[in-house]
Chain A
């Protein structure tokens, strides 16, 4: 098995791109799932890929520390965040030039909350896919049987032919911590930077024209004062509403 895991560097609010960014949590679940396949099926290789500017190499290192065999950086630096369609296009063109049996991605990036990239990679490659996967098992007949998480504790069971794309939901496994040997290996191993040739970033298909702070709840208020004053007010309020 040759597995590609898409990892995104997320920059969370109030943090700088340099210091505050980290690997998207859902991608840790995706990577762990791939590493478990590797443990089960001999000869499996796990490759982590990330598209973006130089700084995203930090998450590829992290993926290698966790156990990915290689880190592949699709370097693009337009100064703008890639839209899911743009990221998917870059990843899909990398997949076309290489052979993978399975592609794992996170169900959602924690920063932009799009939930789009995985299914888009599949559509661009014309592969079957499943999103929000909470269990998966590869069968000897080159199919994979998965459970997708639906609403209210309901799961959809789907059987997919390989190659396919799965986006992974949190809770599917417990992502491992980097082992010392992998940390040492990752330190010295080069990140693969495929030629940028022919890797055009397509035009974004949607534009953000403004961002703003969301409105407060119409009835919303904050308790003011010292900790103790707030505690007193809260208890007063709970008495008043007959909760206590």
Chain B
């Protein structure tokens, strides 16, 4: 493994993207206390302002790599400018966030550098001979520790896996600028546009009841609505799979490429808990998951897990709710003895 660590900054509108500080934190955790090993690269047409911001906040050395072709992100342009530069630098690690820029660029960059490529990194494991990187595999069921076999490794790190770098540097890091001329390439970014979705009520709901592919049929959305009606105010969310199937519109999609939500309660019903989905509920205060697979990834994020077939469990839940409503309004109904009803929920259960 080579020594240096290069962080490729993500930025927009003259400010570093907050994810850049997560990449910096990852670099900081890998540098073994030797901040000299870290160099931040800020690609852009004029990226000095961002470079100065990062140098002041981190104390790391920052290079603004400027070129006319870097006005906005474009894979071809980034590769032509950054490829040769990084080849000369020959760092041990190149770190990017696992975003539509990071996962687009990293694999091609790794090929250009003859480097290993490890995507969606969630943690680093040091202490052994070689630092390992933890990522999700097996359709979300397992985690794997992966080690690079090459002098350079390109890493994309999962948003949220590292807390943004928060250090008080003694002084700002050095800032320099390199200008690189690059002719026109074979790919041009022509702009950005907002996808046309009607606004959804997801953003300001206190309770979100969300459906996943596990509902099986569009008809079973009725069960999701049943649960939603338990609450005075709630909204219906869903996984991308449900939108792709045409069962709900994309305005309901929660996750990395959908809505980021922060409800008090998030009900994940028949949702496996893919990282891209869970990315959207990081700020949910409480997550309750219903899934018939006890090893579903969603249980790693859930406060309360219910391992049941949703098509059977929800009707029972509704029945029980109606019965309790009935009794509280004074219906003369004989209730089953339920000793545990008011006892606190059981403690943590190890799987």
Contact = CB atoms under 8 A, between A and B. Distances in A.
Nearest to A122: B108
B46 interface: no
Contact of A216 (B76, B144, B299): B299
Nearest to A148: B100
Interface stretch (B58-66, B175-183, B186-194): B186-194
Interface centre among A124, A214, A227 (most CB of B within 10 A): A214
Contacts of A208: 137, 144-146
A158 interface: yes
A115 interface: yes
Interface stretch (B26-34, B85-93, B300-308): B300-308
Contact of B297 (A157, A214, A229): A214
A59 to B, nearest CB: 16
A200 B113 CA distance: 20
Contacts of B345: 221, 223, 233, 236-237
A128 B299 contact: no
Contact of B349 (A123, A150, A222): A222
A207 B149 contact: yes
Nearest to B142: A211
Given A113-B120, A156-B189, A205-B115, A214 B107 contact: no
A104 interface: no
Nearest to B111: A123
A154 B313 CA distance: 37
A234 B147 contact: no
Interface residues of B, number: 107
Interface string A203-220: 111111111111111011
Contacts of B317: 231, 234-235
Interface in A132-152: 132, 145, 147-152
A213 B244 contact: no
A233 B346 CA distance: 9
Contacts of B106: 116, 119
B139 interface: yes
A130 B187 CA distance: 9
Interface stretch (B163-171, B218-226, B335-343): B335-343
B329 interface: no
Contacts of A116: 103, 106-107, 110, 117, 119
A39 interface: no
Contacts of B207: 243
Nearest to A221: B348
Given A116-B107, A148-B104, A232-B320, A205 B149 contact: yes
B172 interface: no
Given A161-B187, A233-B340, A206 B288 contact: no
B330 interface: no
A243 B342 CA distance: 16
Interface string B302-330: 11111110001100110111001000000
A123 B269 CA distance: 40
B117 A205 contact: yes
B258 interface: yes
B332 to A, nearest CB: 20
B185 A230 contact: no
A149 B100 contact: yes
Contact of B100 (A84, A132, A174): A132
A165 B277 CA distance: 26
Contacts of A152: 257-260
A110 B143 CA distance: 14
Contacts of B103: 115-116, 131-132
A151 to B, nearest CB: 6
B262 interface: no
Contacts of A205: 110, 115-117, 148-150
B144 A217 contact: no
A40 interface: no
A220 B300 contact: yes
Contacts of A147: 193
Contacts of A210: 144-145
A123 B300 contact: no
B231 A244 contact: yes
B64 to A, nearest CB: 22
A111 B340 contact: no
Contacts of B346: 221-224
Contact of B149 (A119, A203, A232, A235): A203
Contacts of A234: 288, 304, 306, 317
A198 B231 CA distance: 64
Interface string A1-24: 000000000101100000000000
Nearest to A10: B139
B107 to A, nearest CB: 4
Nearest to B19: A151
B141 A231 contact: no
A169 B243 CA distance: 13
7 contacts: A156-B72, A157-B189, A171-B243, A206-B150, A220-B302, A222-B346, A231-B319
Closest 5 CB pairs of A and B: A123-B111, A123-B108, A128-B187, A116-B107, A161-B186
Interface of A: 10, 12-13, 84-85, 88, 110-120, 122-124, 127-132, 145, 147-161, 164, 170-171, 174, 203-217, 219-225, 227-238, 241, 243-244
